[in-house]
Amino acid sequence: MTPLRPDGGQPPEVAQRPGRLVSRLSVRDLLGESLAAIGRRPARSALTILGTVLGIGAFVATLGLTTTAAAQISSRFDALKATRVVVQDGRPDPDADPPFPPDAEARLARLNGVRAAGVLWTVQTGGIGARLTPIRDPAGADEVALNVVAATPGALRAVGATVAQGRLFDQFHASRGEHVVLLGSGAARQLGLPRVDQRPAVYLGDRPFTVIGILRDVQSNAELLSSVVLPDLTARRIWGEDDSQRTMVVHTKLGAAQLIGRQAPLALRPQEPDRLLVLVPPDPRNLRGNVQADVNTLFLLLAAVSLAIGAVGIANTTLVSVLERVGEIGLRRALGAARRHIAVQFLTESAVLGTAGGVVGTSLGIIVTVAVAATHRWTAVIEPGVTLPAPLIGTSIGLLAGIYPAVKAATTEPVAALHR
């Protein structure tokens, strides 16, 4: 029996490869040994990777949910608010010249991206009420305290005002200073004025104004709905100028708000643009970033803590495994395993554990993301660039956790190990 006469006709294996007398271990064999060792205690291996699973699951779910939510924010982002720019007098000074030039609306209209623009201000009426009757009740019982707002026709367009009844005032009323008013839907209810087809009058103090329309809705400046709105020139003639109160409302095309916000001061006050204060809606991109940053910081911290715990878990299990398998280490060394083979085997075991945790955690994270998105009827957004490498985090954690046990295993002396 040739194979069983080791010392006889058959020289040792070494003779077939003269000059290459080194211990060797193929990658396939290494993986086989490591997987067999992990499979030795399946329940323990499963518990070991739990920390990594949670950590990477939290990591992937956090990123998945924030990108999903951010995509939701940007898709639902209020296109109406995102197209409103407000310009105010940044340094109100009664003695200074008016903040806006007389042709302000025309100047803004020339800017590419402006749909409508106009001046809007709350009139200081000195606390007069509005009523439907010409005769004033001395007790003021029939008066309703209403906000009085002056607006140009451009401002009405810029705030997106629509009427439930009647009509808006236009350039004709504005340029002539006509005594006409619009009632906000709330104001009309307070006054008890259901219809305007008979052109009813409303009295502000003792002055009558013709109600030409009732506002149904505005897209911004919701206070108009509870106000009496009258043309800018009419208000100035009656109650005087109050330049500091004047604000310029601009309705821009979608996406142009930031640009118009930068250009408007120069267009309105080229000699002193920094006097004007521009309120632009938050940039949707920044908003998305903010949401992401807020959620991310908290959950990524949580994920990091879980990962650290996971690493400690793997390190601990691998170390226990090294201590338990001292005899095996001694045996392998006796059978010709070099120190590096022992080290690499334990490193591989911990790396495989980490990778398994990474794969399971990533899968869980994706499932959580999709489940949450589904319950909110959102579109789940998972970035492959972040999600696909996530299991590699587990691998790195496993490798990191395996270093100390592997070194300990590799430095185990075979003589001592075999005689335990």
Partner 1 sequence: MPSSSARVQRMASRPRDDGRAHTAPTPPHVVGLEGVCRTYPGSPPVEALKPCTLRLAPGEHLAVMGPSGSGKSTLLNLLGLLDVPNGGRYLLDGSDTSRLPERARTALRGRYIGFVFQLFHLLAYRSTVENVELGMLYGGVPRRQRRARAVAALERVDLAHRMHALPPTLSGGERQRAAIARAIAARPRVLLCDEPTGNLDSETSASILGLLGELHRDGLTLVVVTHDPEVAARAARLVTIRDGVVEHGPARSG
CA pair distance 101, 274, nearest whole angstrom: 15
| Minimum CB–partner distance for residue 54 and partner 1 (Å) | 28
| Minimum CB–partner distance for residue 316 and partner 1 (Å) | 20
Query: Which of 189/339 has CB closer to partner 1?
Result: 339
| Minimum CB–partner distance for residue 346 and partner 1 (Å) | 15
Query: Which of 17/81 has CB closer to partner 1?
Result: 17
Query: Which of 345/369 has CB closer to partner 1?
Result: 345
Strands 227-231 and 207-217: unpaired
Task: Give yes or no for a contact between 390 and 362, defined as CB atoms under 8 angstroms apart.
Answer: yes
Nearest residue to 361 (alpha-carbon basis) of 88, 104, 62: 62
CA distances from 345 to 31, 47, 411 (A): 8, 20, 13
| Minimum CB–partner distance for residue 407 and partner 1 (Å) | 16
Measured CA angle at 29 (ends 25, 32), to 5 deg: 145
Query: Which of 243/328 has CB closer to partner 1?
Result: 328
Query: Which of 214/326 has CB closer to partner 1?
Result: 326
Query: Which of 115/339 has CB closer to partner 1?
Result: 339
| Minimum CB–partner distance for residue 353 and partner 1 (Å) | 16
Query: Which of 10/297 has CB closer to partner 1?
Result: 10
Q: Which residues of 275-307 are buried (b: 16+ CB within 10 A; e: fewer)?
A: bbebebbeebeebbeebbeebbeebbeebeebb
| Minimum CB–partner distance for residue 3 and partner 1 (Å) | 5
| Minimum CB–partner distance for residue 397 and partner 1 (Å) | 25
Query: Which of 33/143 has CB closer to partner 1?
Result: 33
Which sign does the torsion angle of CA 406, 411, 414, 416 carry? Answer: negative
| Minimum CB–partner distance for residue 402 and partner 1 (Å) | 19
Query: Which of 140/327 has CB closer to partner 1?
Result: 327
| Minimum CB–partner distance for residue 341 and partner 1 (Å) | 6
Give the residues lining the site for partner 1 (CB under 8 A).
1, 3-26, 28-29, 33, 36-37, 39-40, 327-328, 330-339, 341, 414-415, 418-419
